[in-house]
Amino acid sequence: MRSVHQEIPDTFEPGSSLLVLSSSFATEGAEVCTELLSHGDGDDRHVLCVTFTCSPDDHFVKWRRHGAVPGRAAFVNVDANGARSAFTDDRDVSATDVDATVDHVGSPENLTRLGVRTTNRLEELENNIEDRRIVVCFDSVTELLQYVDVDQAFRFFHVVTDQLAESGALAHFHMDPQAHDDETVETITALFDGVLSIEDDTVAE
C-alpha cells in the first residue's frame, strides 16, 4: 500500500472531513487512522477521538509506536452495551503525561448526548488551541448505524461536520462499506469533502 500521505485528497485541509472506507478487519484502516491523526509534531496537535470499541490506552499505544503522541487528547467513549466496560475507565489515561480527558455516552441511540459531549470537548480544545491544530477521529459510522437509522445518522453527521468545519479541524470518519448496502454508503458519502478507500487502494473525491 502506498503512503497515506500520497493518497489524501487535495480537498482534505483544515475544516474538512474525510470518510475512510475500509473493512472493519483490515489492519490498513488502523494504520491510516494513525497516519491521519499524526499530522504535524505531537505538541502541535490536539486530538479528539469518538470511539465505540477502541480504548484511550489503545490509542496511546499506537501513537507511541509511531512517535506521534499528541500534546492533548480528548476521548468520547460510546458504550454500545449500555454499561460502562473496563476499557472506558479514566484510569486508561492516568498513566500518561498527556493532558487527556475521557467522557462516556451510555447509549449510542442517544444522539443528543453524543452530540453534546463531542461539541463540548471540541470547544474545549478550541479554547486551548493557540497555534495547535485539532484532529478528529470518529470510529465508527458503521457502529453507530447499528443503533440508529440512516436518516438519523445523516442528520447527526451533517451537524457534526458543520461544527468541525467551523472549528478548522482535520477530521476523518471510519466506515465499513461491506456492512452496508450501496445506497447507505452513497448517502453517508455525500456528507464528506473526500473519501479515502482502502479496499482498492484508490481515492475518490
Q: Which CATH number goes with the domain that contains 172?
A: 3.40.50.11570
Residue pair 119/167 in contact by the 8 Å Cβ criterion = no
Report the pLDDT value the prediction gives residue 132, as an integer from 0 to 100.
Answer: 74
Q: Which residues pair with 6 in a beta bridge?
A: none
Chain centre distance of CA 200: 22
23-27, 80-84, 104-108, 195-199: which range is least confident on average? Answer: 80-84
Report the pLDDT value the prediction gives residue 178, as an integer from 0 to 100.
Answer: 94
Interatomic CA distance for residues 180 and 185, integer angstroms: 7
Report the pLDDT value the prediction gives residue 53, as an integer from 0 to 100.
Answer: 82
Burial class (CB in 10 A: 0-12, 13-18, 19+), 165: middle
Q: Which residues contact 139 (CB under 8 A, 6 or more apart)?
A: 33, 49, 50, 51, 52, 53, 54, 173, 174
Q: How many CB atoms lie within 10 A of CB 45?
A: 22
The answer to whether the Cα torsion of 192, 150, 157, 41 is positive or negative is negative
SS3 letters across 30-62: HHHHHHHCCCCCHHHEEEEEEECCCCHHHHHHH
44-48, 109-113, 178-182: which range is least confident on average? Answer: 44-48
Report the pLDDT value the prediction gives residue 199, as an integer from 0 to 100.
Answer: 60
pTM for the predicted model, two decimal places: 0.85
Residue 194 in grid coordinates: 473526500
Q: List, for residues 102-119, the tens digit of each pLDDT value.
A: 999 999 999 999 999 999
Residue 162 in grid coordinates: 458543520
Report the number of distinct structural domains present in the chain. 1
Please confirm whether the linkage preceding 3 is cis (ω < 30° from 0).
no
Whole domain around residue 135: which residue ranges? Answer: 4-204
Residue 136 in grid coordinates: 478528529
